[in-house]
Chains A and B, each alone.
Chain A
Amino acid sequence: MGVEKDRVKLNVGGRVVETTWTTLANAGRNSMLGAMFDENWNLTERESERFIDRNPDCFGILLDLLRTGELHIPPHIPEKLLYREALYYGLLDHVRAAKWGPFDGNRLRLSRSLQGQAPGDGTAIRGGPDGGCCVAHGSMVHVYDWMLEEHPPINLDYQRVNDVGWVDSDNVVIGVSERLGRGDGGMGLFSSHTGELRYKFHVCHDNQVKSYTAGALSFSSDYRIFSSCKGRSNEYGVGVWDQITGKQIDFFYEPLGWSLGDADKLQWLEGSHCLLVATMFPRKDNCYISLLDFRDKRMVWCWSDVGAPFAVDEKRVRDAIAMEDNNSICVVNEFEDLGFLDLRSSAATSLRWSSRSRLMKGKMPEEPCYPKLALHGGQLFSSMNDCISVFCGPEWVLTSRLRRSYGGSICDFSIGGDRLFALHSEENVFDIWETPTPPILGFV
C-alpha cells in the first residue's frame, strides 16, 4: 500500500478528520472501525470521505488514543460520555488499558473516592481482575465495574456477608451466615453485571445436604473454590468446590483442639499446592495458623499462640499472609508490628517480631480497626488506622504510606486489576488508588 492510499478521510458528526489505515488498524478487527475498513465492506466503496454519526469531540480523543496509546480526557468532557462512545466503537478495552499504568505500591495516586449508600460498617472490599470492585456491607454486596458504575447489588437470602471474592471479571462469589432452621445462607455465585444468582453451593455430610455458614474464601487457578464452613452439628472445617460444575469435591474436617471452620482468612498457595487457614483473635481466644494439603488430607504446617505467655503489651496476631517466595508467613498485631514465621521448619517455630513502630501506642483512634495485610508483586501492604503502609525489599523496609484525610479508619483494603481499593469504617467511603501511566520521558 502506497503512502497516498494509506490516507483516509472521516467525517465524524460533521467534523472532517484525516488519519491513516495504519492508525485505524490499531483498533483491531474486533471493533467497529476494524470492521468498517475490512475488505468485506470496502471493495467497491471508494467515497472520498466516510461519515460516522457520532460525537466528534470524543472521536478525537479516541483517535488520539489509537495514534499514541495514551488517553487524555479534557476537563470539559465527562468520563461517562467518553466511555459510552468507546463502547460504541468497541474501544472500551483500549481506554481501560490506557487509563492507569501497571501497579506499583510506591507510585500510587488517589484517583477517586466513592461514597456508597449502604448503612452500617463495611465488612470487606475486593478488587476485581479488570479494575472493578465489590463492597460488602452487612447483608449486601455492591458491585462496581472499572468505570466505577454501580451494578445491581447482590445478596444471598439477605444474610450477613462474611467474605466476597472475584472468580473472574464476570463472576463474584459471596459467603454468608446461615439462618438457623431455614437452610438459607451458605455460598453463592453471582453475575457481576446483572447481580443474578447463578449457582448456590451446597455442603454434604454423610450424603446429606446441610446448611452452613461460609466464612473466608479463596480460589485456586485450577478452578477450585475454598471456604471455611461452620455447620449446625459442629461440622466445622474447610470445604472445596469445583467452580465449573459447582459440586462439592472435598471437605477438610477441623481436628480436635484446632480451628478451621472459624477461619478469618484463607489463602491458596499455588507453589506449594497448599491452603493457608488462619483464625485470629478476637474470633477465637487464640490464633491458629495452618497449611493444609488436600491431596493427602494432611496439615503440613501449623502454628498457634496457645500457651504462649502474654506480656503486658499483648501482641496478638490480627492478620496473616503467606509469602511463598520468602518461605514465610507474615503476621501483624494491633500495633502494626510485623512478625515472621518460617515455613521451612515445621511447627513450634517462634514468632519473630520486627519491632518497628511503637509510636502508635497510646494514641489509638476512637474506633480502631484491626490491621490487614496484602502482598502484591513482592510488595507488602498493611493497613493501620487511616493509612496503608508499603514495605519492600528482603528486610521489608517501609517505603511509602498512603493516607487520606476523611472517612475514618480503614477497615479493609484490596489490590486487583492494577488498582488498590481501601474501605473506610466511617461514612461508607472507599478510595481507588492507581499508578499513573509512565512519564513521557520514561524508559519502557
Chain B
Amino acid sequence: MSNQKKRNFQIEAFKHRVVMDPKYADKTWKILEHAIHEIYNHNASGLSFEELYRNAYNMVLHKFGEKLYSGLVSTMTGHLKDIAQSVEAAQGGSFLEELNRKWNDHNKALQMIRDILMYMDRTYIPSTQKTPVHELGLNLWKENVIYSSQIRTRLLNTLLELLHSERTGEVIDRGILRNITKMLMDLGPSVYGQEFENHFLQVSAEFYRVESQKFIECCDCGDYLKKAERRLNEETERVSHYLDSRTEKKITNVVEKEMIENHMLRLIHMENSGLVHMLCDDKYEDLSRMYNLFRRVTDGLSKIREVMTSHMRESGKQLVTDPERLKDPVEYVQRLLDEKDKYDKIINLAFNNDKSFQNALNSSFEYFINLNPRSPEFISLFVDDKLRKGLKGVSEDDVEVTLDKVMMLFRYLQEKDVFEKYYKQHLAKRLLSGKTVSDDAERSLIVKLKTECGYQFTSKLEGMFTDMKTSQDTMQGFSACHPELNDGPTLTVQVLTTGSWPTQSSVTCNLPAEMSTLCEKFRSFYLGTRTGRRLSWQTNMGTADLKATFGKGQKHELNVSTYQMCVLMLFNNADRLSYKEIEQATEIPASDLKRCLQSLALVKGRNVLRKEPMSKDIGEDDAFFVNEKFSSKLYKVKIGTVVAQKESEPEKQETRQRVEEDRKPQIEAAIVRIMKSRKQLDHNNLIAEVTKQLQSRFLANPTEVKKRIESLIERDFLERDDSDRRLYRYLA
C-alpha cells in the first residue's frame, strides 16, 4: 500500500541495448531473395556462395530465422506459381515435357537454395520443428503445381490416355512417362497413389472387364487363357519400365480378378474347350497355362481340382462298372493303368507335380477302384497274366516298371486281404504248373508286397517258394534212393505245407495201379526221413505226360492233368466207357469229371476221346471212345483243362466266405491288442481304432467288429462297464 504513494519517480534501470541496423534483416533478405530469383532464372553464375551462406547464417544468428523461413516460402511459392502457369500454357503433347523440364529445374534450384540455407536447415528448423528445406520444396511443388486445378486432372488424363493407347497397341514415349511417375513417387507414396495409381487401377479394371467380356464371348478356353497370360506379362513389363515396383502386385491383381477370377467357372466349364475337354485330349500346354493362371487367384486351383476329381471319378466309375470290361480282367486292369498314366502325365507336365492334385488323383482312384468288388481279383489276375506270359522278352527294368504300376493300384485297394487270397491261389497255380516265367519277377513282387503290407502279409507266399525248393531236393533224394524206378513211369511230387497254400477240398481220386504203387513208395520214403508228418495227395492239382498211340499208329505225347490221366488210363483196357463207369472207376468229383471229360472230348483239335451223342454238354448217360482219328501236327499235345480263369459265381462266394472267415481272427486280435494297451475304451473309439489298425489289409465292417466284441465278451476277454454299457474293459 505504501508503495503506491511513493510512485512519483520511476527510475528506469540503465540499459544499453545493442541496436542493430533495423533495416539489416530486410537488406540481407533482399540479397538472398535476389539470389533465389537468379537461381530460378538460370542465372546463378554471378552469385557468390560464400556471401549467400554467410548472410543466411547471420540472419539465423541474429534471430531472423522466422523471417528467412517465411521469405523462402513466399518466394518459392511465387516461382512455383509462374511455373504452374507456363506448364498450363503448354500445348497438347508438349504438356508432359514442359512439366518434366520444370520439375528438373525446380529440383536443381531446390538443391542450391538448400545449400545456401544449410545453416538454417541444421539449427533453426529442428529447434522450431518446421519442415526442412528440401521437403518444403517438394511440398510447395505439390501444392502449387501438381494440385493446380489446370494441371491436376490434365496430368492424370494425359497419363491414363498414354497408358490406354499403349494397351491398344500404339508406341508411346516411355521415357517421359517414367520421369513423370518418378516425380510423383518423389513427392511421396500418397501422392503417387492418389494422383495416379488409384485411378490407374480403376481404369485398368474397367478396361479388362470390357476386354475379358469380349474375349469370353468369342474365344475358346485355350485362346482366352493365352490372351490373359499375354496381358499379365504386358502389365508386369509395363511396371518394370515406368511405374513404381509396388504397383506390380496391385495391377496384376486387377488383371487376375477381371480376366480370371470373374470368369473362372465359365472357363472351366466351357463347352468343347473347357477343363474336361483339355483333360480328355491331353492338352498339356493349355492345362499348364490354366494351372499357372488360376493359381494366382483364390480358390482357382481348388476349382480345377474339383472338376478334375469329379471327371476322374465319373470316368473311372464308368470303366469299373462297364459290364464289357468285366469280361476281360487283364484288359480291365490295363485300362486302369492307362488311366493312371494319363493323369500322372498331366499332373507332371501341366500341374507342376502339385501335391494336392496328386492327392486328388489318389483319392479318386481309391474311390472308383473299390466300387467294383472284383478289383482285387482282377489285379491279381493281371499280375498272373503278366507273370505267366506277358513278360516274355521284356527287359528286367520294364518288368519292374509294370510291377510298380500294379503296386500303385494295389495301394488303392481297401480289401487287400482279398487280393492276398487270390494272389495266393494264382501263385499256387503258377508254381505247381511250372508256368511262372521269371523267378526274379515273382520274388520282386513279393518284396514289394512285403514293403507295402509287412512281413505277415507275405510270409505264406514266401513259404510257397520254400516248399517248391524243398520239393526239388526231396525228389533228388527219392530218385537216388530208388534207382530201380528209372524204367517205369516217373513221379514228381511237390510237398506243400498245409496252411501256406490255398486250401482245396482234397477228395482223392483213384489213381491207376502203377501210379498208386509209386505214390506209396514215395510216401514211405518221405515219412521214413521225416517223422510226425502226414502226407495227403492233392490229385486235383497234378499233371501228367502220357505217351499214346492212336488207331493209325500216330504217336503223341499228351500233357494232361492228373484227373485226365486217370480217365485216359482207363482206356488202356476198354474201348468204350460210359460216364457212370468212368465215375465209378476214378471217383473224381462230378463237376471236375465233367470239366475233365469236356476238355478231352469236346475241344476241337484236342479231342482224344469221342463222345456219343455228339452234344455240347456231358450227360450222365453219355458214352466215350478213344478217338482213333485223332491227329495233330505236333508231337506233344497239351490238353488244356476247361477252367474258368475268372472265378465262377459259386467259387466267388466261396472265396468271399473264406476271406470273411479269415478276417474274424484278425479283427479279434486287433481288438485284444488295443484293449490290452488301453485297458478301457468306449465303443466308438474302439471301432475307430480297430478300423485304423486294419486299414492296411482291409476295411473292417463295423457290424462285424461289433460281433467280434460280443464274442470276446462271451469268452471273458472283455467286459462291459456296469454303469456305462458303452464302455469296455480289458480282462487280463
Contact = CB atoms under 8 A, between A and B. Distances in A.
B123 A90 contact: no
Interface in B157-178: none
A35 B118 contact: yes
Given A41-B112, A194-B127, A35 B49 contact: yes
A32 B119 CA distance: 8
Interface in B499-554: none
A38 B126 contact: no
B50 A87 contact: no
A50 B45 contact: no
B728 interface: no
B115 A51 contact: no
B192 interface: no
B119 A88 contact: yes
Nearest to B52: A41
Given A35-B49, A45-B45, A53-B54, A40 B111 contact: yes
B57 interface: yes
B50 A50 contact: yes
Contact of B115 (A40, A43, A44, A88): A40
Given A32-B118, A52-B50, A193-B126, A40 B112 contact: yes
A90 B49 contact: no
B108 interface: yes
Nearest to B57: A88
Main secondary structure of the interface of B (DSSP, over half): helix
Contacts of A36: 49-50, 53, 115
Nearest to B54: A53
Interface size class for chain B? 10 to 19
A53 B45 CA distance: 20
B122 A44 contact: no
Interface size class for chain A? 20 to 34
Nearest to B108: A40
B7 to A, nearest CB: 35
B50 A90 contact: no
A41 B115 contact: yes
Contacts of A40: 44, 108, 111-112, 115
Contacts, number: 44
Interface in A22-75: 30-32, 35-36, 38, 40-41, 43-45, 50-53
B112 A90 contact: no
A43 B42 CA distance: 12
B118 A43 contact: no
Interface in B81-129: 108, 111-112, 115, 118-119, 122-123, 126-127
A194 B112 CA distance: 30
Interface in B106-156: 108, 111-112, 115, 118-119, 122-123, 126-127
A197 B111 CA distance: 34
Contacts of A53: 50, 54
B122 A90 contact: yes
A35 B50 contact: no
B118 A90 contact: yes
Interface string B183-218: 000000000000000000000000000000000000
Contacts of A31: 118
Contacts of A193: 126-127
Interface in A187-235: 193-194
Interface string A277-314: 00000000000000000000000000000000000000
B132 to A, nearest CB: 12
A32 B53 CA distance: 8
B31 to A, nearest CB: 14
B50 A43 contact: no
B117 to A, nearest CB: 10
Contacts of A87: 119, 122-123
Nearest to A37: B49
Given A31-B118, A43-B45, A52-B50, 12 more contacts: A36-B49, A38-B115, A40-B111, A41-B49, A41-B115, A44-B45, A45-B45, A50-B50, A53-B54, A87-B123, A90-B122, A170-B126
10 contacts: A32-B53, A32-B119, A36-B50, A40-B111, A41-B112, A87-B122, A90-B118, A193-B126, A193-B127, A194-B127
Q: A-B pairs with the 10 shortest C-beta distances?
A: A35-B115, A44-B45, A41-B49, A36-B49, A40-B112, A52-B50, A53-B54, A193-B127, A32-B53, A194-B127
